A and B are shown apart, each in its own frame.
Chain A
Amino acid sequence: MGLIQSVIERSGIPTVSVTVCKELTEKVRPPRALFVDRAFGYPLGAPSDAALQTRIILAALGLLKREVDEPLIVEF
């Protein structure tokens, strides 16, 4: 996923990913990632929890205004 994100970012569209595994994201080094403390398979928190999904999405989208030169990983 980090590669897909990097290709899109390089093409000129700002990107942000949601990650549950900071360890992996630190190795892949995408431009922007929001770290969500959940298990593999649960990037937006919990199924059918619209409020939590929305908060995570807004936190992630909030990073798009940040100019990046190094990978940015922010904790939710």
Chain B
Amino acid sequence: MAHLSDLKLAYRLYMAAYRYRQFDWRPGSVLTSPLPQARIAIVTTAALHRPDQPAFDASVKGGDWSYRELSLEVDLASLLAAHKSDAFDHSGVDADANLALPLDRLRELAARHAIGEPAPRHFSFMGSISAPGRLVEQTAPEVAAKLHDDRVDAVLLTPV
């Protein structure tokens, strides 16, 4: 099991002092369509991006609140991970992007009718954002709007 105490001392001290910001999501939503008919999108904080997209900027104070759109057709093996945090092991995602962006798995699940279909677009953030104001007010709502545009029924999020 991963514990905060697994992190390096500097991160532990930071996390101990961090005031976790919460956003009131209530009333919650619920999946009303059967899963075999549902369109599913992935939102990850593995900081994955295509080689032709700008990398996330680790120098942004408070964390880079931007996101990258990744189409269903993206070449998973070509994706790069630019994560600010060296607090964890990146080698798994580097070896297989499905560990955080499981587009191959969603395609397989759709082929066997366990889900309806993967959404046409998926979204990647950097995470480790200590000053989330612009994330909450700007980029997360933008992504939510795009998910609505794509008529997504449910979202699976994969923090790393």
Binding site for B on A (CB under 8 A): 1-24, 27-31, 37-48, 50, 53-54, 57-58, 60-62, 64-69
Within the complex, what minimum Cβ distance (angstroms) separates B64 from chain A? 13
Give CA–CA (A10, B140) in the complex, Å: 11
Tell me whether A38 and B96 are in contact in the complex, defined as CB-CB below 8 angstroms, given that A15-B154, A27-B20, A58-B109 are known contacts. Answer: no
Binding site for A on B (CB under 8 A): 1-4, 6-7, 15, 20-31, 35, 38, 40, 43, 45, 87-93, 95-96, 98-100, 102, 104-106, 108-109, 114-115, 125, 127, 132, 135-136, 140-141, 143-145, 147-148, 152-160
The 8 tightest CB contacts between A and B, nearest first, are A40-B88, A47-B96, A1-B159, A64-B31, A7-B140, A17-B157, A6-B25, A11-B144
CB of B156 within 8 A of CB of A7, answer no
